[in-house]
Amino acid sequence: NEQLAIPQLRQSSYRHETPPTNPSRRCLHLGYFGGKRLHKISWSAPKPSPLTRSAPMAKLAIFFTLTLSLLPFLSHSFSPDTPTDRRILVLLDDFSLKSSHSIFFTSLKSRGFDLDFKLADDPKLSLQRYGQYLYDGLILFAPSVERFGGALDVAAVLDFVDSGHDLIVAADTTASDLIKSVATECGVDFDEDPSAMVIDHQGYAVSDVDGDHTLIAADELIRSDVILGKTKIEAPVLFKGIAHSLNAANTLALKVLSGSPSAYSANPSAKLSSPPSLTGSAISLVSVVQARNNARIMISGSLDLFSNRYMKSSVQKAGSPSKYEKSGNEQFVTEVSKWLFHERGHLKAGNLRHLKVGETGEPAMYRIKDDLEFYVDIFEWSGNSWEPYVADDVQVQFYMMSPYVLKTLSTDKKGLYHTSFKVPDVYGVFQFKVEYQKLGYTSLSLSKQIPVRPFRHNEYERFIPTAFPYYGASFTTIFFFYLFVFFLVIKTRFAGALQMAGFFIFSVVYLYNNRMVGRPPFSIL
C-alpha cells in the first residue's frame, strides 16, 4: 500500500535528508569507470554556453538533460524510499582476501550490491566527492592497516557513519590502532593487550588441530529474528580472533555473538600471570551498533569469520555430541549483513494525524476532555518494497513533561495504527509522541505538538443540580424583595401590579434564556 506511505515523512527520523531526485548524486554512482565523465557533462548540460547554441548542439543538450533527469529513476541507491544500500566500498589489506572471502562477497553481489574493492592504503581513496558520498556502505576488511590512503582517516569514516551510512569492521590479532579507534568511537572497546585472543577451553571447536583452544565454536547468539533472520542458526559459528567489550551504559550497541561463560581473553602463547581483564559473557565476539541516525555498524573480532574456509568447514563444539557438516558462519554472516544493509528491520513511520471524534480534519487545538482519534502509519522495508509493519506493542503517548495518556495502538495489518482516547483534564501544550525502540529495528521517534485549552466561558455546565437550593434562594430573595417594595414603597395598586408583572416576565425570560446553553444569558463583560 504505497499511497499511505509516501507523503510527508518530515517528522520521522530518516537517514537521509537528500531529496530522492538528486541528479548529481545519482550520476556519480553510475559505475566507477564513467562517473567522472558523466559528472562533467551534468555540470555543462543545464547551462549551454552561447557559443554552442546551434541547433544540433541544443538538441544534444536537451538529449543530455533528458537522459540525466531520467537517470535517477533507473539507478538504485540508498534513499529514504529505498533504504537498502547499493554501493559498497570494500577496503582490503591485500587482494587475496577477495578470493579467500569470496562466498561472502558473492552473496552480497547476488543480492544486488555493487562492490568496489580497493586496497586500504590506496592513495586515491575517497569516500566523497563534491560533498556527495560515493558509497552507501563501507566494509573494512583491513585489520592491520595503520593509515588509510588518500583522504580517508578515522574522522572521515566516522563522518561517513554520522551521515547515515553503514560500516562493517573486522579485526583480528593483527588489529591496528586505527581499526581499534574506529571501533572505540562506535562504542566497542577491543582488548588493549595486542597479543590477546579469545580462548575458551570448553567451547572450542574440536576440529581444531592446534590445541590452544582459540578457534571457538560460538553459539551464544542474540535472540532476535530481525537481526539473525527467522531461520534458527543451528550450527555454532567458528570464531578466531580478539575479544571486545561493550559499555553497559551504551544502549546503542548489541552483542550479536558473545563469548561463552568459560571464555577469556589472553595471550595464548604466554603463561597467564594475572586474571584476564575480559572474561565470560562480558566478551563480545561480534557486535552491532545502531547509531541514533539509524546507521548500522557491525564489528567483528575475527576476520576469518567471514572466510570461505570457516564457512565451509564442519564444526563440532567441544563436549557436544552433535557434529555439523557446515558451520553456522555463512548463515550468520549473511543474515547479519542483511540486517546491516537495511534489508530487514528498517521501519518508517509517518503521517501522524489525529482528529476529534465525529469531525474531519485536524484541529489546531483540543479542549480538555475531548475525545480524539489518533493514527500513524508504520511500514517496514523488506529489501525491495515497503510492507506493512505488524506489531502489537506500538504505543502513543500524550505527553506534557510526562505522559498523561499511554495507549497501545491497534493495527489494521495494512500499516495503519490507530487508537482513540479522551484528552486528560489538564490544559497545556501536549505532544503526541510515538517512541518505538525495539531490538534490532530502527528506532522511531515522532512527535507532534498540540495545545489543549480549558473550557471556554460558555462551555461549562449551565445548571448544576447540587446548586438548585442556591438558585431557589436567589429567586426567592428577588421575589420577596419585590413584595417588600410592593407593600412598603409603591402606594398605588396599578404600579405595584405593573412591577409584579415585570418581575414575572423578567424571570420567565431569564429562565428561558438560560435553557439555551451555549450563549451567556447576561454577560456583563
Binding site for another protein (CB under 8 A): 153-155, 158-159, 161-162, 177, 180-181, 183-189, 192, 246-247, 249-253, 289, 291-293, 295, 365, 400-401, 427-431, 449, 451, 453-454, 456-457, 524-525
**133 or 430, CB closer to another protein?**
430
CB 369 to another protein: min, Å: 14
In the numeric block, the cell 553503514 is attached to 166
**215 or 423, CB closer to another protein?**
423
Here the cell at position 448 is 507532534
**Rounded to whole angstroms, how far apart are CA atoms 136 and 166?**
7
CB 391 to another protein: min, Å: 25
CB crowding 399-421: b at 16 or more within 10 Å, else e: bbeebbbeeebebeeebbbebeb
Q: At what angle do helices 102-110 and 329-340 cross, to 10 degrees?
A: 40
**455 or 471, CB closer to another protein?**
455
**170 or 183, CB closer to another protein?**
183
CB 250 to another protein: min, Å: 5
CB 295 to another protein: min, Å: 7
Task: Please give the angle made by the CA atoms of 214, 339 and 262, to the nearest 5 degrees.
Answer: 25
CB 290 to another protein: min, Å: 10
**Rounded to whole angstroms, how far apart are CA atoms 167 and 140?**
8
Here the cell at position 365 is 487545538
Longest C-alpha distance within the chain, in Å?
129
CB 355 to another protein: min, Å: 19
**223 or 457, CB closer to another protein?**
457
Other Cβ atoms within 10 Å of 265 Cβ, number: 24
**92 or 289, CB closer to another protein?**
289
CB 474 to another protein: min, Å: 13
Q: Which helix (H) or strand (E) holds 99?
A: helix 96-100
Return all residues near 24 (Cβ < 8 A) that are at least 6 apart.
39, 42, 130, 132
**249 or 516, CB closer to another protein?**
249
CB 334 to another protein: min, Å: 26
Q: Which of 310, 263, 270, 309 is nearest to 284 (CA)?
A: 263
**Rounded to whole angstroms, how far apart are CA atoms 413 and 154?**
44
In the numeric block, the cell 590502532 is attached to 177
Other Cβ atoms within 10 Å of 339 Cβ, number: 24
**32 or 471, CB closer to another protein?**
471
By the 8 A CB rule, do 150 and 122 touch?
yes
